[in-house]
Structure 1
Amino acid sequence: MKYKKDPIIIGIESSCDDSAVSIIRSRKILSNVIIGQNIHKKYGGIVPELAARLHDKNLLKAIDKSIKLANIKKYQIDAVSFTIGPGLIGSLLIGCSLAKSLAIGLNIPIITVDHIQAHTLIHFIENGNINNSYPNFPFLSLVISGGHTLIIKVDDYLHMKVLGSTLDNPIGEVFDKIARKFGFSYPGGVFIEKYSKYGNFKKFKFPKPLVKGLNFSFSGLKSYIFRFIDEKLIKDPNFLKKNLFDLCASIQNIIIDILIEKIHKAVIKTKINRITLSGGVSSNERVKKVFLFQAKKNNWNLFIPNNLYTNDNGAMIAITGMIKYHKKQFNSLNVTPYSKFKYFIN
C-alpha cells in the first residue's frame, strides 16, 4: 500500500444497536451518519438478534450516505477502520465482515479499533469537545455509557491503563432499569434527566456503595432504590406519581456524587488533573454542570465532548483509525471480533 500523510479514513461502528459510519480527513469529520434501531423500545432493551439483523440492512445505507455527504468517491478512501470489540458479537461480526469486504473491494488496509479506546480518543477530533482544544498527555478518562463505567489513565494515544471499572452494572444501564421501574420507555435515562430538572435533588437520601479503590458498584444502590419505592408504594399507591420529579433528581444526584468522588480519588492518586468525559451519559446536562463546578473548585482541566460525539458514533472509530494509520498499525483480514472488554488497551 502507498502511505499518505493526509489520508481519508472511514470509520464503521456496530458494537450495539446504532449503525454508525463516519469519514475523516486530518482531524476534520467530513461526514457522520448514525442510523438507530427504534424496534428495541417495545422490548425494553436491546435484542441482540434483531440488532445484528438490522445492522445487515442499515450499515450499507450508512456507508453510502456517509460517502455522499463527505463529497468524495469510494476510491479516495485510504483505509477502513471498524469496531472489533467489545460489544454484541452478532453486531460486531456484521460490521467486521462489511469492513473487510469494503477493504478487499478497494484494495486498502483495515484497522481494528477498540470501542472504549475510541470513546476516549473522541477529544482529538477537530472541535470534538466544548473546549475546542485537545487534552495533553497524560490525562484521566471517565467513560460513562450504557455499557461501561471506567476510569482510564491515558499516557498516549494508544497506551492506556484501566484504573477502575464497575464491578456489576454500568451507569447507563442503571439509569435505564430505574427508568423502567418508573414506567418510562427504553432508553430511559433521558427521561430521568428530563424529569430531574423539575425536582429537588435533596429530597431523598440514598446510601453510597462502599467500594474500595477506584472501582464502582451500582447494583446495591439500584436494589436499595427498588426496595425503597416498593415499600413506599405499599403505604401510598400514588407515591411514585406524587414524587416522580424529586425521585429522578435525587437518584441522578447520588450517582453523579459517586462519579465525582471516584474522580477526585483518581486525581489524588495519579496527581493528574486533566480529565476527559466520554460516553452517552456525558451528554447529561446535570453531569456536565456538576463536573464543571468541581473542575473550577479543584483546578481540574476538564474536557467535555460535544453532544454529537457522546453516544456510539463512527467519528470516534475514524479518529482512532487515523491515529493508528499514522502509526502504521494495520491488521490482517484474519481478525475476529471480541465481545468482552479488555482491561489493558494497547
Structure 2
Amino acid sequence: MNILGVESSCDETGVALVRAGPKQQIPELRAHALHSQIDMHQAYGGVVPELASRDHIRRVLPLTRQVLADAGAQLSDIDVVAFTQGPGLAGALLVGAGVACSLGAALGKPVVGVHHLEGHLLSPFLSKDPPQFPFVALLVSGGHTQLMRVDDVASYELLGETIDDAAGEAFDKSAKLMGLGYPGGPALARLAEFGDAKAFDLPRPLLHSGNLDFSFAGLKTAVRTQLMKLANVCEQDKANLAASTQEAIVELLVRKSLAALKETGLKRLVVAGGVGANARLREMLNAECAKRQVRVHYPELSLCTDNGAMIALAAAMRLQRGIAKTSTDHTFNVLPRWPLHAA
C-alpha cells in the first residue's frame, strides 16, 4: 500500500510517499521532498500566515510531481492520500487538506487526516535506529513542548507540558532579543558554540516543581534583564548569553525527561520535533541516558523539521492497525487547535 503524505501546517511544504506492509513491518520511505519558507519570512522576523498559505499553494503540486518521479511511481500507484489536519495555521492547513482531498477524489482513493504532533512523535521509526513500544516521548518544537508515555500508535498519555512558551519559542524569542537572525533557534545555537555557558546564571523555571511540566517565559524575561544590565553588548557577551540560554533550556528538557523515565520505569526515550536537532540537547541526553542504561532515539536530521514523510508514516501505521479514520466522500475540515490525546 502506497500512502502519499502532505504537510502544510506552518512554514514548510512537505510531500512524501511511504509504502506500508503488514503491521509488524515498519513502513518504508520511498521518497520525500521539502520546501522551507525561511528565506521568505526572514524579512519579517517570523512567519506571516497569509504569505505562508500562498506559498504552500505554489509549492505543493510541483513537490508532489518530484516525489512521484523520485520514487519511480505514478499517480495511479497511490492507494491513500494523507494530510496534516492540525494543529497549525488554519490557512496553511486548508491548502494541504484541499489538495489532498481533491487528489483523493480525482483518483477515487480514501484520504486520512493526520495529527501533526503524532507525525513528529512517530518520525524516529523512519531512522536507522527505530524505537520499539513502549517509550517516553519528548515532543519539543517551536509550538509544543510535551512529555508523553507512548504504548502504541494512538495510545498516548500526557505526562507534562509547558504552561506558557514552548522550548523552541524560548530559543526564538531569546535570539530576537539578542538581535540574531530568523530563524532564531539555530542562530542562537550557532552563536552558543563560541560562548561560556556558565557566564550568566539564568533561571530554570519549574525545575524542582515535583511534576513534569515546563515553563520558559521567565527565562526569556531573564535574558532581557541581562541584556539591559550590559551597557555595551560586545560579541563575546552575546555568545556567552546565547550559551547560557541554551544551557538553561537544554537542562530543563533533560532533567524533566529523566524524571519522566524514572516515573514510568521505561528505558527508552524518543525525542522528536525541530528542537530535537539541537546538538547540545543530543549531547547531554545521550550522556545522561547512557549512565542510566536508557536508549535514546531521534529522527534523522532531515526529518526533524515539519515534513511530509512523518505525515505519511503516521497514516501508514494507523492503517496497519486498522484504526485510521479514512474518508471516501473527500469533504474535510482542519483543526488548528487539536490536542493529541483527542486524535
**Range of TM-score over shorter length:** over 0.9
CA distance in 2, matches of 1:95, 1:340: 16
- 1:245-293 per-residue CA deviation (whole Å, 9 max, x = no partner) reads 2111111011111011111211121111210001111111111111110
How many aligned positions are there? Answer: 331
Q: 2:261 aligns with which of 263, 267, 291?
A: 267
In structure 2, the partner of 1:276 is: 270
User: Are 1:251 and 2:245 matched, yes or no?
Assistant: yes
Distance 1:25 1:137 in 2: 21
Q: Does 1:334 align with 2:335?
A: no
Moved more, 24-33 or 68-77: 24-33
CA distance in 2, matches of 1:185, 1:11: 31
| Deviation of 1:242 (Å) | 3.5
* Residue type at the aligned position of 1:246: N
1:203 matched to which residue of 2?
Answer: 199
Identity of aligned residues (%): 34
Q: How does 1:50-199 map to 2 (within 5 A)?
A: 50-125=51-126, 128=127, 132-199=128-195
SS of 2:223's equivalent in the other structure is: helix
- Cα distance, 1:240 vs. partner? 4.2
Residue 86 of structure 1 contacts residue 338 of structure 1 at CA under 8 Å; is this kept in 2? yes
Moved more, 307-316 or 331-340: 331-340
Q: 8 Å contact 2:136–2:148 — kept in the other structure?
A: yes
Q: Which runs of 5+ in 2 are unaligned?
A: 21-26
Per-residue deviation, 1:343: 4.6
1:84 Cα deviation from its structure 2 partner = 0.5
Supply the distance in 1 between the matched residues of 2:321 and 2:243 (Cα, whole angstroms).
45
Report deviation, 1:25: 1.4
Which residue matches 1:32?
Answer: 32
Does the 8 Å contact 2:79/2:109 carry over to 1?
yes
Helix, strand or coil: the match of 1:105? helix
RMSD: 1.3
SS in structure 2 at match of 1:344: helix
Q: Distance in 1 between matches of 2:190 and 2:202?
A: 20
Amino acid aligned to 1:284: N
Per the normalisation by structure 1, the TM-score is: 0.92
Pairs within 5 Å for 1:288-303: 288-303=282-297
In the TM superposition, residue 212 of structure 1 has moved relative to its aligned partner by: 4.7
In 1: Cα distance, 2:58 partner to 2:124 partner: 30
CA displacement, residues 118-138 of structure 1 (integer Å, 9 cap, x when unaligned): 10111222xx1xxx2332221
TM-score (norm 2): 0.93
8 A contact 1:161–1:343 mirrored in 2: no
Measured after TM superposition, the shift of residue 182 of structure 1 is 1.4
Stretch moving more, 259-268 or 75-84: 259-268
Aligned-pair CA distance for 1:231: 2.1
Does the aligned pair in 1 maintain the 2:119–2:311 contact within 8 Å?
A: yes
Q: Measure the CA separation in 1 of the matches of 2:340 and 2:56.
A: 27
- Which amino acid in 2 is paired with 1:123? P
Q: Does the 8 Å CA contact 1:199/1:246 hold for their aligned counterparts?
A: yes
Hey, what's the Cα distance between the residues in 2 that align with 1:318 and 1:44?
31
* Mean Cα deviation higher: 27-36 or 68-77: 27-36
- Residue 337 of structure 2 aligns to which amino acid in structure 1? K
Query: In the alignment, does 2:16 pair up with 1:22?
Result: yes
Q: Which amino acid aligns with 1:276?
A: V
